[in-house]
Amino acid sequence: MALLQSIKNRPLTFYVLLNYLISWTFLYPCYQIILHADEGSFPWLALIGIFGGFGPSIAAIITVRFTEGKPAVYRLLSKFKSFRVPVKWYLFVLLLPLILYLLSLLCTNIFGFELGRIEIMEGLKMVFPYLLLALPFGPVMEELGWRGYMLPTLLKKYNLYTSSLILGVTWTFWHIASFTFPGAAIPSIFEVSVWTVGLYLLNITAQTFIFSYVYLRTNGSLIIAILLHASFNASSNIILTIFPDTEDNSDLRIYLYMINICLISITALMLFYRLQIGQKKMV
């Protein structure tokens, strides 16, 4: 009883710890199994990583069950039905990450990088496949936890700015197990270091602020959050397909990553400023 009461008193602390425990327990061995597998083979035991990927959502369901009861779990799961949102928001979340990544790539010209061939039709053909491929790996697995449970729970205690910052930091370090596998979180062009983890922290936190803005403007639509997550994950693959000569240029990719972080951060600040102005007009 004491443990249950402690969980009810600190649901977010319990959620984060349980989330990390579930995810790291399965993701770390999954990555190690793949890294030590024979070249060209896929060890089926690595599929245990699926449980780790669902860590944020599994932890959310368990936390809600302990703290609020079974009916609250049904209410949480019902958020997957939140698709009745104006079309403009579907376009916004699908296009924004692509536009920001494209602008970031174009900005590398300032530093003397050549973009080479442009394969627009090839890139357009791959938009849907890359988005579809991105959906299961992160968006569907995680968003019930991050935007379905953690953000609205944070907002009961903190304002949108503080809630977004806490969630951004939590989401960043949830990826610790993924840091051990090149490209799973931090791009494979970087070595894992304090510097690159710091860049990743800034990137994920800036993205989180955009997620929070969209969450508020769409009345907490989980479907929109999932699509935004998928678009962020797929944007690099789609844009680099349009500019195939840039994919193997490590120096260009380093500049591209840092410029993209800057543009995402600027966009987040602009959206929050717009939100603040809108709220003042309503007062």
Q: Which residue in this structure is represented by tokens 């989180």?
A: 208
What does the domain layout of the chain look like in residue ranges? 81-282
- The 10s digit of each residue's pLDDT in 108-143 is 999 999 999 999 999 999 999 999 999 998 999 999
What's the pLDDT score for residue 274? 86
State how far the Cα of 183 lies from the Cα of 187, in Å rounded to an integer: 4
Contact residues for 174 (Cβ-Cβ < 8 A; gap 6+): 19, 20, 23, 55, 56
What's the pLDDT score for residue 216? 93
State how far the Cα of 167 lies from the Cα of 212, in Å rounded to an integer: 10
What's the pLDDT score for residue 275? 84
What's the pLDDT score for residue 281? 56
State how far the Cα of 150 lies from the Cα of 12, in Å rounded to an integer: 7
Please state, rounded to an integer, the average pLDDT across all residues of the chain.
94
Mean pLDDT of 255-281: 89
Where are the alpha helices (H) located in 187-249, listed in sequence order? 194-217, 222-242
What's the pLDDT score for residue 41? 85
CB atoms within 10 A of CB 211: 26
Q: Which of 22-26, 35-39, 184-188, 191-195 has the lowest mean pLDDT?
A: 35-39
CB atoms within 10 A of CB 87: 7
Mean pLDDT of 199-215: 97
Q: Report the 3 state secondary structure along 13-42.
A: HHHHHHHHHHHHHHHHHHHHHHHCCCCCCC
**Residue 82: band (very low, low, confident or very high) from pLDDT cuts 50, 70, 90:** confident
**Residue 283: band (very low, low, confident or very high) from pLDDT cuts 50, 70, 90:** very low
Looking at per-residue pLDDT, the higher value among 208 and 81 belongs to: 208
Burial of residue 169, with CB atoms counted within 10 A of its CB: 0-12 exposed, 13-18 middle, 19 or more buried: middle
